[in-house]
C-alpha cells in the first residue's frame, strides 16, 4: 500500500486477529494480554497518515471479525457500524504518540486514551459498547471484581498497561522497568482486591426462586397469527414444568407474547389463571399501546392475576426499533430492505416489586413472614449500557432482569458476546443478573459475575427449548462504589489523557 508498509499491515492485521480470538466463541482470553503489541510496533515512529491508516485497519478488521453476525441482519448496516467503530481506534492511534511527552507516565496515559475512546463509543451516536476490551476477561472472575469501582473500563485499562509494557521491553526503552513495576503493582492490587471480594460470604442474603423460560421461537414465526396459539402453548407448557420447582417469579423473554397483551383477552385470561392457581408472579415480554404510541415492554403479572406495572424500553435500537430523525428523512424507511419498528421511547426507570410469603418455626410456633424483592428489567441490548443499568440499581433494584430476543443473530457468537455485558453489569452493581432469551443464552449470573446456571438442552444453550430454575441470593447492602459514583474512573483517564498537552514549566 502507498501509505503503509506491508510489514506494518501484517502487524496490524495480526493484532486485530489475536484480539478477536479473545472474544466468544473462541474465548482465548489470554491473547488479549499481548494482542496489542504488534499494533503498537506498527504505530511506533509513524507519520500521522500512517497512524490513521493503521488505527482504522485495526478497528475495521477486529470489528468485521467480531460483528460478523451482523450480516444476518443488514450488510449496509454492518458496513456503516464497522466504519463508525473503527474511527475510535483511529483516534487512539492519533493520540497515542503524544503520551511519550510524559514518558514516565506514558503507560498510564496510553491506557487512559484507550479507555476514553471506549467510553466515547459507549455514548456517542446512541452508543454501542459491544466487545469492549475488558469483556474479553469475563471468565477471569478475580480480575473483573475491580469493576465495582472502575466499571469495565478498569479491566480494559490494565490489559492495555500490560500490552504497552511488553511493547516497551521489545523497544528496550529506558523506563521499561518503571512501567513494568507500576503495571505489576496495579495488577496485583486488582487481583488481591478481586480474590478478597470472591471470598466474601453470603450472610444476610434472602433467597428467591426464579425460573427463566426459553421458548426458541423462530424469528419468522413470532408475528405470524397462524402460530399465535402454538407460541403461547410453548411458553405456558414450559412454565407449567418449571412450576414443579415452586419458583415465585417466572420470566418470559422479550416480546414473547405474540400480540398486545392488554388487548388479547383469551390469552390474558389463561395467563392470569395460571398465575393465580400457582400463586406465582410472571414477567412477560410484550408490546404495549397507549395514545397511539407503541412500546417494547415488560409487564409484571402478579400472583393475584393483575398486571401491576409495565416497563417501557428506554434505549431503543436505531434502525431496528426506530429511525433516527425520521421526520426529516421521510423516505428513508421505504429505502431500507429490512422491517423496522416504529416504537416510542420509554421514560421511566420502572422498579418492579413482588412479595413472597413463607413460614418458619420460631419457638415451637409457625410464623408467617413476607419478604419483598425489588428488581429492574432491561429489554434487548439495554444491558450493554453500564449507566442505564446503574440507574435501576440506584432506584432500588436488588437484582436485574434482562429479557431479550437474540434470534436475529442466528447460531453465531453474538448471544455469547451479549452475555458478556451482563456479567459485568452484575459485578459493577453487585446485584444478581437474570437473563431470559428467546433462543438463548438464558442464565443466572451472581453478583460476583459467576454464571451459575443456564438453559442447556441437547448439548447446547442456544436455539434450544427449555427452562431453568434457580434460587438467587439477594442482599440488602450498600451500593457499590460504581453504582454510587458512576464513571469516576473515566474522569481520571480523561485527566491523564490531557497530561501530555499541559504546558511545561519554563526553566529560568
Assess contact for 375 and 401: CB atoms under 8 A.
yes
Question: Which 3 state secondary structure label does DSSP give 169?
Answer: helix
Sign of the C-alpha dihedral computed for residues 424, 427, 428 and 434 taken in this order: positive
Which of 54, 165, 377, 380 does the annotation list as catalytic? 380
Choosing from 313, 377, 382, 428, the catalytic residue is 313
CA distance 288 to 294: 6
Residue 505 has pLDDT above 90, yes or no: no
Quick: pLDDT tens for 264-286. 888 888 889 999 999 999 999 99
Q: List strand residue ranges (DSSP E) for 415-494, in order.
A: 433-437, 443-445, 451-454, 466-475
Name the more confident of 505 and 107: 107
Which residue is associated with the grid cell 509513524? 46
pLDDT at 426 over 60: yes
Question: What does the pLDDT look like over 167-182, one tens digit per residue?
Answer: 998 988 777 788 889 9
Mean pLDDT of the chain: 90
What's the confidence (pLDDT) of residue 331?
Answer: 58
Q: What is the 3-state secondary structure (H, E, C) of 36-95?
A: CHHHHHHHCCCCHHHHHHHHHHHHHHHHHHHCHHHHHCCHHHHHHHHHHHHHHHHHHHHH
Q: So what's the pLDDT on residue 487?
A: 95
437: helix, coil or strand?
A: strand
Residue 140: is its pLDDT beyond 90?
yes
Q: What is the pLDDT of residue 192?
A: 96
Out of 50, 118, 254, 428, which one is annotated catalytic?
254
Q: What is the pLDDT of residue 197?
A: 94
pLDDT at 5: 86
Question: Known catalytic residue: 254?
Answer: yes
Give the residue among 188, 189, 194 at the shortest CA–CA distance from 144: 194
Residue 257 pLDDT level (bands cut at 50, 70, 90): very high
CB-CB neighbours of 182 under 10 Å? 17
Cβ contacts of 141 within 8 Å, gap of 6 or more:
194, 198, 448, 449, 450
Mean pLDDT calculated for residue range 94-101: 85
Higher pLDDT residue, 249 or 173?
249
What confidence tens digit (pLDDT) does each residue in 306-356 have?
Answer: 999 999 999 998 877 777 765 556 555 555 556 667 889 999 999 999 988
Q: Is 267 exposed, middle or buried (0-12, 13-18, 19+ CB in 10 A)?
A: buried
Q: How confident is the model at residue 508 (pLDDT cuts 50, 70, 90)?
A: very low
471 pLDDT more than 70:
yes
- What is the predicted pLDDT for the residue at 425? 97
* Rounded Cα gap, residues 367 and 369, in angstroms: 6
- The predicted-structure confidence for 114-125, as pLDDT tens digits, reads as follows 999 999 999 988
Decide if 380 is catalytic. yes
Percent of the chain with pLDDT over 90: 69
- Percentage of the chain exceeding pLDDT 70: 93
What does the alpha-carbon distance between residue 459 and residue 218 come to, in Å, rounded to a whole number? 19
Q: Answer with the residue of higher pLDDT: 225 or 108.
A: 108
pTM confidence score: 0.92
Question: Is there a catalytic annotation at residue 493?
Answer: no
Q: Which residue has the higher pLDDT, 384 or 440?
A: 384
Average pLDDT of span 76-101: 90
Amino acid at each position: 500500500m502507498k501509505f503503509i508498509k506491508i510489514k506494518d499491515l501484517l502487524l496490524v492485521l495480526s493484532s486485530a486477529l489475536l484480539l478477536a480470538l479473545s472474544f466468544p466463541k473462541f474465548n482465548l482470553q489470554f491473547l488479549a494480554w499481548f494482542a496489542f503489541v504488534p499494533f503498537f510496533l506498527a504505530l511506533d515512529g509513524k507519520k500521522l497518515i500512517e497512524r490513521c491508516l493503521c488505527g482504522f485497519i485495526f478497528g475495521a478488521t477486529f470489528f468485521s471479525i467480531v460483528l460478523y453476525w451482523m450480516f444476518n441482519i443488514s450488510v449496509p448496516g454492518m458496513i456503516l457500524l464497522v466504519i463508525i467503530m473503527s474511527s475510535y481506534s483511529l483516534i487512539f492511534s492519533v493520540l497515542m504518540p503524544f503520551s511519550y511527552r510524559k514518558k514516565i507516565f506514558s503507560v498510564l496515559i496510553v491506557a487512559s486514551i484507550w479507555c476514553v475512546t471506549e467510553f466515547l463509543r459507549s455514548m456517542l451516536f446512541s452508543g454501542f459498547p459491544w466487545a469492549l476490551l475488558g469483556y474479553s476477561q469475563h471468565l477471569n472472575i478475580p480480575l473483573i471484581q475491580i469493576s465495582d469501582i472502575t466499571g469495565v473500563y478498569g479491566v480494559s485499562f490494565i490489559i492495555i498497561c500490560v500490552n504497552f509494557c511488553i511493547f516497551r521491553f521489545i523497544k528496550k526503552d529506558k523506563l521499561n522497568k518503571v512501567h513494568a513495576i507500576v503495571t505489576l503493582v496495579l495488577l496485583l492490587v486488582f487481583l488481591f482486591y478481586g480474590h478478597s471480594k470472591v471470598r466474601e460470604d453470603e450472610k444476610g442474603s434472602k433467597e428467591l426462586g426464579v425460573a427463566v423460560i426459553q421458548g426458541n421461537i423462530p424469528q419468522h414465526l413470532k408475528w405470524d397469527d397462524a402460530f399465535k396459539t402454538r407460541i403461547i402453548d410453548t411458553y405456558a407448557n414450559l412454565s407449567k414444568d418449571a412450576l414443579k420447582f415452586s419458583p415465585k417469579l417466572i420470566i418470559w423473554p422479550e416480546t414473547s407474547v405474540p400480540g398486545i397483551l392488554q388487548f388479547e383477552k383469551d390469552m390474558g385470561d389463561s395467563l392470569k389463571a395460571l398465575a393465580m392457581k400457582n400463586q406465582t408472579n410472571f414477567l412477560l415480554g410484550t408490546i404495549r399501546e397507549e395514545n397511539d404510541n407503541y412500546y417494547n415492554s415488560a409487564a409484571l403479572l402478579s400472583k393475584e392475576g393483575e398486571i401491576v406495572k409495565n416497563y417501557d424500553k428506554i434505549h431503543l435500537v436505531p434502525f431496528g426499533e426506530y429511525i433516527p430523525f425520521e421526520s426529516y428523512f421521510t423516505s428513508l424507511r421505504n429505502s431500507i430492505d429490512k422491517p423496522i419498528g416504529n416504537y416510542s421511547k420509554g421514560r421511566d426507570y420502572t422498579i418492579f416489586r413482588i412479595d413472597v410469603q413463607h413460614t418458619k418455626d420460631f419457638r415451637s410456633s409457625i410464623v408467617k413472614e413476607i419478604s419483598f424483592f425489588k428488581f429492574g428489567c432491561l429489554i434487548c441490548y439495554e444491558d450493554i449500557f453500564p449507566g442505564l443499568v446503574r440507574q435501576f440499581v440506584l432506584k432500588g433494584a436488588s437484582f436485574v432482569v434482562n429479557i431479550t430476543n437474540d434470534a436475529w443473530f442466528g447460531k453465531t457468537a453474538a448471544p455469547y458476546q451479549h452475555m458478556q455485558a451482563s456479567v459485568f453489569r452484575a459485578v459493577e452493581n453487585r446485584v444478581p443478573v437474570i437473563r431470559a432469551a428467546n433462543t438463548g443464552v438464558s442464565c443466572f449470573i451472581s453478583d460476583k459475575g459467576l454464571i451459575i446456571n443456564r438453559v442447556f438442552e441437547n448439548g447446547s444453550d442456544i436455539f434450544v427449548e427449555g427452562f431453568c430454575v434457580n434460587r438467587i441470593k439477594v442482599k440488602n447492602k450498600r451500593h457499590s462504589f460504581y453504582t454510587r459514583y458512576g464513571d469516576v474512573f473515566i474522569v481520571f483517564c480523561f485527566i491523564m489523557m490531557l497530561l501530555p498537552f499541559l504546558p511545561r514549566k519554563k526553566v529560568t
